[in-house]
Amino acid sequence: MKKFTMMRAALGIWILSAVVCVGRGHHHEGHDQDTALDSSADSVSLVTSANKEFAYRMYKKLAAHTESQGKNIFFSPASLSIALAALSVGARGETHRQLFSSLGFNSSLLTQTDVDQYFRTLLQRANKTSQEDISEGTAVFVDNRFKPQPEFLDVLKQSYFADGFEVDFTKSTDSANTINKYVEEKTNGKIDKLVESLDPSTVMYLVSYIFYKGKWATPFDPKLTKKGMFTVDESTKVPVQMMNMEQEFDTYYDQAINTLVLHLPFNNSYSMLLLLPDDMATLENDICPSHVTKWLKGKVSRTYDVYIPKFSIKTSYSLKDMLIEMGMTDMFSDRADLSGISEGRELHVSEVVHKAALDVDEAGATAAAATGMVIIETALIIYPVLKFNRPFMVLITEDTTENILFMGKIINPNI
């Protein structure tokens, strides 16, 4: 594998918590750019809000999809947004408009430069944290016969922290192994086979990865972990290892959607929110960014006897159809305009694949791509009992910005 200074690229976008595979398409630099906001603070606020809204829209698409019925859901909105924003650097015309619109970016108020600068700041902040805690970035794998625009590669390198590699995609097995090895290293082995197969006609792969390892601010005592039962549905119960802790926790009960929220802080600026609804469908239909803001601001402390399952899950999604439903149609067709990547070459995105993994144990949680976990209320003995022994939702967020790293639903901890 030859590493290069962002000279070449091939079309494919894999988002390690989300993967996007490209194959054909210009950048909007006309009216969109002219009407951009002067205030960088306003730009940051607009992109932040758009990312949050995109996270919930993407979750609802996953939850409604046939392949997700009755299964765990786990993905990284942050990783997916980064990958698609990086792709928009090379998009033009209607393809760029669709990407911006579907990501929630107001093209009359935000320029591509605004978006690029936002993600540069976001990635800089994330990667200043201990390498053990979180690592985010992108990489471009380019066919050795394909010459992308130097400007495209430069923006990816400067704003999206992209590593660049030259490969020979006609050797599909070797190329897949090269990408998989890179991804495995960046996610500390959690995503070990991102690419299942490669089309020899691929000219570029864009990978976005995220790895997060959080240690609970107050760890669970392994000696208290006992076998318990998890109710998957009315007819199915499965055995799980239940972690247990009795202490003061921050919680919020949202009466509007009948959902109990447990706030579990890590020993850094991130937290896990476990959501135990009376009715999962109601929570999934109604949840939005304002809920998280309300839960974090309104949480109250009291002592609970908490039980949380210890588990490891992995998920894999093909997101092409869902992204088309969200409005990103042209980039997957012969109408794609990705001429900002390379002029004179007909390019389009062939697939968007997302893989994620989550491990939760007494010490904390490790997630690559996306993460999840939730709560449940049981009985009252000495202290109220919160027992995660039925399906729950989980969010991993950054406390200050409420940026969502991972989002999901645990239906069965054993799968």
- Closest by Cα among 44, 70, 80, 41 to 328: 80
State which amino acid sits at residue 289: P
pLDDT, tens digit (0-9, with 9 covering 90-100), for 52-79 = 999 999 999 999 886 778 889 999 998 8
Averaged over 357-381, what is the pLDDT?
Answer: 50
Q: Tell me how far CA of residue 219 lies from CA of 37, 119, 395, in angstroms.
A: 45, 32, 18
pLDDT band at 12 (very low <50, low <70, confident <90, very high): very low
Tokens for 186?
């960046």
State which amino acid sits at residue 163: D
Does residue 37 contact residue 14 with C-beta atoms inside 8 Å?
Answer: no
pLDDT at 22: 42
Tokens for 190?
């959690």
CATH, domain range 2-214+314-356: 3.30.497.10
pLDDT, tens digit (0-9, with 9 covering 90-100), for 126-140 = 777 555 577 788 888
CA 404 to chain centroid, in Å, comes to: 8
Domain spans of the chain?
A: 2-214+314-356, 215-311+361-410
Residue identified by tokens 């929570």 is 283
Averaged over 307-312, what is the pLDDT?
Answer: 90
Local structure of residue 239 (DSSP, 8 states): E
Does residue 306 contact residue 245 with C-beta atoms inside 8 Å?
Answer: yes
pLDDT at 367: 64
Q: CATH topology for 215-311+361-410? A: Alpha-1-antitrypsin; domain 1 (2.30.39)
Distance between CA 74 and CA 17 in Å, rounded? Answer: 9
- Which region among 187-191, 278-282, 394-398 has the lowest average model confidence (pLDDT)? 187-191
From the CA atom positions of the chain, what is the Rg in Å?
21
Q: Tell me how far CA of residue 253 lies from CA of 122, 139, 258, 294, 404, in angstroms.
A: 31, 42, 7, 11, 21
Q: Tell me how far CA of residue 197 lies from CA of 193, 316, 343, 391, in angstroms.
A: 10, 14, 27, 33
Contacts of residue 60, defined as CB under 8 A and 6 or more positions apart, other chains included, come to 284, 285
What mean pLDDT value characterizes the chain? 81
Averaged over 223-251, what is the pLDDT?
Answer: 94
Contacts of residue 343, defined as CB under 8 A and 6 or more positions apart, other chains included, come to 149
pTM, 2 dp: 0.84
pLDDT band at 382 (very low <50, low <70, confident <90, very high): very low
pLDDT at 375: 17
Tokens for 103?
């990501």
State which amino acid sits at residue 378: T
Q: List phi, psi (to 5°) of 338.
A: -115, 40
Give the max Cα distance, the chain.
Answer: 72
Q: Tell me how far CA of residue 296 lies from CA of 133, 246, 264, 397, in angstroms.
A: 22, 21, 11, 11
Given a cut of 80, whether residue 3 has pLDDT beyond it is no
Given a cut of 60, whether residue 408 has pLDDT beyond it is yes
